Amino acid sequence: MNSSITEESDPKEFDFNTAKVFLMPDGIICIDIKDDVDILLPDATEQHEAVRHFAGGKKRPVLIRTGDGGTIDKESQDFYRSERVGEPALAEAIIAKSLAHKLIINFLIKFDRPGRPIRMFIKEEEAVGWLNEERTKYNQEHSK
């Protein structure tokens, strides 16, 4: 089922061809990448629009769960690295499942410097804990 971001209703989840995007009960936006999908620029942009929808004009932590297998084309990688994508994210935690994903994510973090806190994790509990720490730091810095 493909959901449209322009719908007047307030969906609890967007189920796209390559990912599900939803707001977790603790206020973290989750992008759950499906297994064995090839992410192209239209897929990346629809995921970003869903994140913006759930962010509601505020900065929120984002949890990305990579699927098994799959690829991300160069245009999508460039898009994910852009400041535009980072705009609603106060921090991103990426849970990597495969060695290929780990290599790509490490490259992104070390060499691209995406302009927002971003870390890779193996365990979701650690990722969520770090996102909550980043949210606390952000809220303290912006409440002054």
User: For residue range 38-90, what is the model confidence (pLDDT) as tens digits?
Assistant: 999 999 999 999 999 999 999 999 999 999 888 888 898 888 777 666 678 89
Label residue 130 by pLDDT band (50, 70, 90). very high
Q: Is the predicted pLDDT of residue 8 greater than 50, yes or no?
A: no
Contacts of residue 70, defined as CB under 8 A and 6 or more positions apart, other chains included, come to 18, 33, 34, 35, 36, 37, 38, 39
Q: Collapse the DSSP code of 16 into the 3-class scheme (helix H, G, I; strand E, B; otherwise coil) and give the result.
A: coil
91 forms beta bridges with 61
- Tell me how crowded residue 51 is: count the other CB atoms within 10 A of its CB: 23
Q: Collapse the DSSP code of 104 into the 3-class scheme (helix H, G, I; strand E, B; otherwise coil) and give the result.
A: helix
Gyration radius (Cα) of the chain, Å? 14
The DSSP call for residue 82 is S
Chain length of the chain: 144
pLDDT the model gives residue 77 = 80
Residue-wise pLDDT for 94-121, tens only, equals 998 877 777 777 777 776 666 788 899 9
- Tell me how crowded residue 54 is: count the other CB atoms within 10 A of its CB: 23
Among 15-19, 66-70, 77-81, 140-144, which range has the highest average pLDDT?
15-19
Tell me the C-alpha distance between 66 and 61, whole Å. 16
Q: Which of 95, 93, 94, 2 is nearest to 49 (CA)?
A: 2
pLDDT the model gives residue 52 = 94
Amino acid at 129: G
pLDDT the model gives residue 114 = 63
pTM equals: 0.86
